[in-house]
């Protein structure tokens, strides 16, 4: 008789998740060394150590894989951001600055190419989703215009920091972004963001 309280995990589902993760990690690794247009499905499969049929069982194109990676990673990034800065109201800021600081080679590779521009736009949209969730947890729901303004400012500060070789400590950049965001929010939220 089957155990309905403790069902057997679906092994094929776990295999599918492993394959999808391996493909995403392979694509991300390849982006460190190759331009987007130079990467093909065969390269991704070789790096992930899966067959082409496995790739096509999950994705129609490498663009689909990229989009899936962004979508799937949102919940993982939220969890990572919370562990990086568990007391902060805006943990996405800490995650973003840390991630950009570690991904400078990839960022430089993406700059200047139409595909790279598209990838960075999707990355900004994902970051906006994460920040919107942070603000909602804090009790603030920004309108689309406010969120666009915030994300534009955050990325402008981050780009300036990167352009200067990350000379300022990450904690300084994060604190500065918290102050700038807090100035645009209702007073009770500003105090919480600034730790007051």
**pLDDT per position as a tens digit, 16-35:** 888 988 998 898 888 878 88
Q: Which positions ≥6 away from 105 have C-beta within 8 Å?
A: 32
Task: Please write the tens of the pLDDT for every residue from 127-170.
Answer: 998 899 888 888 888 899 999 999 999 999 999 998 898 999 99
Confirm if 81 and 95 have CB atoms less than 8 A apart: yes
pTM: predicted TM-score of the whole model, two decimal places: 0.72
Cα(123)–Cα(30) distance, integer angstroms: 17
Cα(123)–Cα(20) distance, integer angstroms: 19
pLDDT at 70 over 70: yes
Provide the pLDDT confidence category of residue 10 given band limits of 50, 70 and 90. low
Give which of 97, 102, 84, 106 is closest to 33, Cα–Cα.
106
Provide the pLDDT confidence category of residue 112 given band limits of 50, 70 and 90. low
Cα(149)–Cα(46) distance, integer angstroms: 41
């Amino acid at each position: 008789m089957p155990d309905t309280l403790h069902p057997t995990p679906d092994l094929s589902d776990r295999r599918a998740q492993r394959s999808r993760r391996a493909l995403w990690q392979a694509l991300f690794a390849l982006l460190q060394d190759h331009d987007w247009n130079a990467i093909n499905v065969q390269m991704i499969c070789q790096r992930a150590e899966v067959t082409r049929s496995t790739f096509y069982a999950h994705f129609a194109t490498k663009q689909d894989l990229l989009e899936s990676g962004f979508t799937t990673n949102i919940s993982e990034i939220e969890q990572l951001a919370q562990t990086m800065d568990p007391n902060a109201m805006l943990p996405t800021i800490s995650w973003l600055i840390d991630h950009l600081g570690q991904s400078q080679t990839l960022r430089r590779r993406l700059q200047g190419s139409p595909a790279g521009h598209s990838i960075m736009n999707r990355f900004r949209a994902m970051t906006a989703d994460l920040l919107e969730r942070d603000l909602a947890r804090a009790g603030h729901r920004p309108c689309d215009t406010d969120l666009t303004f915030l994300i534009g400012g955050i990325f402008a500060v981050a780009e300036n920091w990167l352009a200067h070789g990350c000379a300022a400590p990450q904690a300084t950049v994060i604190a500065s972004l918290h102050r700038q965001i807090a100035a645009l929010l209702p007073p009770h939220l500003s105090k919480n963001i600034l730790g007051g």
